[in-house]
Amino acid sequence: MVSYPGTLRLDSLLSSTFRRKSSSNATVSARLVSLSPLPSSSPLRTPKLPLKMIPSSIPHSRLFICNSSSTAIAEPEGIKISSVSTKPMEGQKTGTSGLRKKVKVFMQENYLANWIQALFNSLPPEDYKNGVLVLGGDGRYFNKEAAQIIIKIAAGNGVGKILVGKEGLMSTPAVSAVIRKRKANGGFIMSASHNPGGPEYDWGIKFNYSSGQPAPESITDKIYGNTLSITEIKTAEIPDVDLSCLGVTKYGNFSVEVVDPVSDYLELMESVFDFQLIKSLLSRSDFRFTFDAMHAVTGAYAKPIFVDKLGAKLDFISNGVPLEDFGHGHPDPNLTYAKDLVNIMYSKNGPDFGAASDGDGDRNMILGKRFFVTPSDSVAIIAANAQEAIPYFKNGPKGLARSMPTSGALDRVAEKLNLPFFEVPTGWKFFGNLMDAGKLSICGEESFGTGSDHIREKDGIWAVLAWLSIIAYRNKDKKLGEKLVSVSDVVKEHWAKYGRNFFSRYDYEECESEGANKMIEHLRGLISKSEAGEKFGNYVLKFADDFTYTDPVDGSVASKQGVRFVFTDGSRIIFRLSGTGSAGATIRIYVEQFEPDVSKHEMDAQEALKPLIDLALSVSKLKDFTGREKPTVIT
């Protein structure tokens, strides 16, 4: 390969006239076709790259599968690699879910390219040289352009092959599944998860390892360090890749394969669940199901799975077309942002079962008829019923785990089933080591994330299928006309057996960072002075701390993971700053109270928790530090 050091602008390589000497020493010029932004509420379509627009001197071979199948083979040759001068850019600290910013930040010259190159600079060469990387995303604005940048830099750094979802689409769970099935070296996920998309909103990027799990802090810290000292970007001089057709494009010893983003994931789901059992439920005339894809990536998965495989009616799927701006919506499946689904489920003649997933398909919300299942209860109920209802767990779960802010409902299931239990910081990557060590099967977060060791990411559709499996199993012997066991029946039976953990989360989004940080420092000062036995209103303190986690597998330590006030009756108040937004700071307050008395299980959660909520607002002085009087979201 030939390296051309210099001061070329990266965007000139991606979208300007490309010149290179042909074998006859003639100069060949052609305008490289780049993907222009799509209208914000149009279905995702990538324009085909006409072969005549490709410089004839660039060696390439293609196998495309569109309307027909054909094969073209060319003798591979080397590709040109250019070195593009750059300089460090501010704000590339990589958090628990990669790097997230407003899309306009990522669209700055070299901003994304710097981070991608810093990633390759952080990995041992044997982790990617001549290897295979997966590339997918949630379909949000800027993904198409970003995919081309990533492909070119991957080629420039010696990657052998990129597997990319058609149209650049692939859910986060599916990326993890494809990495594992295809034994890839890792993968890029283009998503800002549950945050809104469009020219004025959010974009994000993260990297998953060969196990399919998010890169550990040891790597994300290296990435950030390298963004502070980067001087060059290595990029391949190849045309944009047509992402609209399945097939292989080869450029010398580098290739890009556009794959069906659903097939590998669907195959995995069929191996985990009893699809015939679920189909027997969805085909019943006395059971109605609805799924809201929120115009996000699972719209591409809903029809193949729920309709084609499981027999649901097509009109049971709403907002099923992935859009770059999620239909001007906020793809966060909670009671605030999935209000359309909530209204349907709470209507007089609402469906029996409703579910939604988020932007990249890793979060979920479960609803019954006029009944909301909290994420904390959801993972506990899945764990309690997994062995009998889900074939993958026929021998029982190996262990259970939750994030620290998630309610203690799962703890009680682990105790009852005599299973190992783990409490970890927020961030799915903390579950990965436990899974790889064979210690963990089912886990969840209160932030609408639920999953298992079938992959190394939380998985929204998996959670929906798990719940459908439980409902189907409970009703497998029910005849038409008999009352079906409902979602609310399952939850209330669980509470009667294990007790109810009343739980709520208050989110204060896009607070001024300075005020939010001062509030957390105030709370840290408070816990340093607090002692066991101290009274906080009607509550007696058991302990207060800033949560620290020591990984039982590798001994790594994660500190300052959330300020906790734990009381003698099992009640908890937790304060955290979230790292998953793209601007300002999000303050999250979690309150929890355990109630063993069945006669009190029907209480409204906000009513039951009001004394704790009032205490949380008082001790934190949130209004004084932030000026905020009301939360953005209450869950």
Catalytic residues: 193
Residue 630, judged by CB atoms within 10 A of its CB (0-12, 13-18, 19+), counts as exposed
Q: Specify the residue for token string 């937004």.
A: 581
Contacts of 486 (CB under 8 A, 6+ apart): 352, 368, 369, 371, 471
- Give the whole-angstrom CA distance, residue 306 versus residue 301: 8
Residue 174 in tokens: 């599916």
Task: Yes or no: say if 296 and 359 are a contact pair by the CB < 8 Å rule.
Answer: yes
HEC secondary structure over 409-463: HHHHHHHHHCCCEEEECCCCHHHHHHHHCCCCCEEEECCCEEEECCCCCCCHHHH
Q: What count of Cα atoms within 13 Å lies in the side-chain half-sphere of residue 517?
A: 5
Alpha helices in 247-399 (DSSP H): 263-272, 275-282, 299-302, 339-345, 375-389
Cβ atoms < 10 Å from Cβ of 460: 31
- Give the whole-angstrom CA distance, residue 620 versus residue 623: 8
Give the helix, strand, coil percentages of the chain, each rounded to 5: 35, 25, 40
Residue 279 in tokens: 């189909």
Residue 375, judged by CB atoms within 10 A of its CB (0-12, 13-18, 19+), counts as buried
Q: Return the closest-CA partner of residue 288 out of 227, 238, 233, 355.
A: 355
Q: What angle do CA 401, 223, 440 make, to 5 degrees?
A: 15
Q: Return the closest-CA partner of residue 173 out of 407, 450, 362, 410.
A: 362
DSSP string, 525-580: HHHHH--TT-EETTEEEEEEEE--EE-TTT--EE----EEEEETTS-EEEEEEES-
- Which phi and psi (to 5°) does residue 284 adopt? -70, 140
DSSP string, 452-508: ETTSSS--HHHHHHHHHHHHHHHTTTPPTTSPPPPHHHHHHHHHHHH-EEEEEEEEE
Contacts of 547 (CB under 8 A, 6+ apart): 404, 425, 560, 561, 562, 563, 564
3-state secondary structure of 594: strand
Q: Measured in whole angstroms, how far is the alpha carbon of residue 289 from the centre of its chain?
A: 24
Residue 151 in tokens: 């492909």
